Amino acid sequence: MPSLREITAQHGSCLLLDAASERIQVGLCAVDSGRWTESSAEAGEGLFRCLDALGVDPATVPAFAFCEGPGSILGIRTAAMAIRTWSALTPRPCYHYQSLAVVATALADPMIAVVADARRESWHVYRAGAPLRRVPAAELTGPCVMPEGFRRWSNPPAGLASHPYRLQGLFARPEVAGADLFTATNTPDAFLHEEPAYATWTPQVHRAPATP
């Protein structure tokens, strides 16, 4: 698992897309530097507004990175689909990272849970040094923080705090830029704890009830 610093050192630069929160963030990251912009528009429009603001042509960047979640599934899949399209035209390396892991790395406190709403009265939970888990709301205890701009549908746990989710500032921190947060992927998509299961059914021709 490489760090952002290692990715930019290997490829020269990297176009990073994050649509996990209400704020679309895009950065053109290079070794020890970067240009960032953001948009409050929905992902399908906001990503391209950000590219225009940066003056970046996706066809010219040597590598991509994106947030696979947790966060807005629609936004994340929009970013992933854009990368798939660009890479189909010109194949390039792609890496994904998890939103909660970035915040947990900045906090550097394994006692603090970084959380995001997973719906159906459950929460995504990440603690530094541990894998991402999904936890029922009733079992969520201890100090918790949620990244700014992440939507929630369930009642928040007691004492839930907010933590800034501005990637320009987070990745400017040496401990975050140098952390092994990224994973290479050939199939960009949103993170799922498990693959969806689908029920099967046998189609039947509808018939009128039999008369006695």
Say how far apart CA 150 and CA 92 lie, in whole Å: 30
What average pLDDT does the chain have?
Answer: 92
Whether 205 shows a pLDDT value over 80: the answer reads no
The predicted model scores a pTM of: 0.89
H helix runs in the chain, sequence order: 4-11, 43-54, 73-89, 99-107, 167-172, 174-177
* 97-127 residue pLDDT tens: 999 999 999 999 999 999 999 988 999 999 9
Whether 199 shows a pLDDT value over 60: the answer reads no
Whether 99 and 66 have beta carbons less than 8 Å apart is answered as no
How many alpha carbons fall within 13 Å on the CB side of residue 74? 9
Per residue in 67-103, is it b (16+ CB within 10 Å) or e — as a string? bbbbbbeebbbbbbebbbebbeeeebbbbbbbbbbbb
* 17-72 residue pLDDT tens: 999 999 999 999 998 889 999 999 999 999 999 999 999 999 999 999 999 999 99
The gap between the terminal CA atoms of the chain, to the nearest Å, is 70
Closest CA to 162 of 212, 107, 205, 204: 107
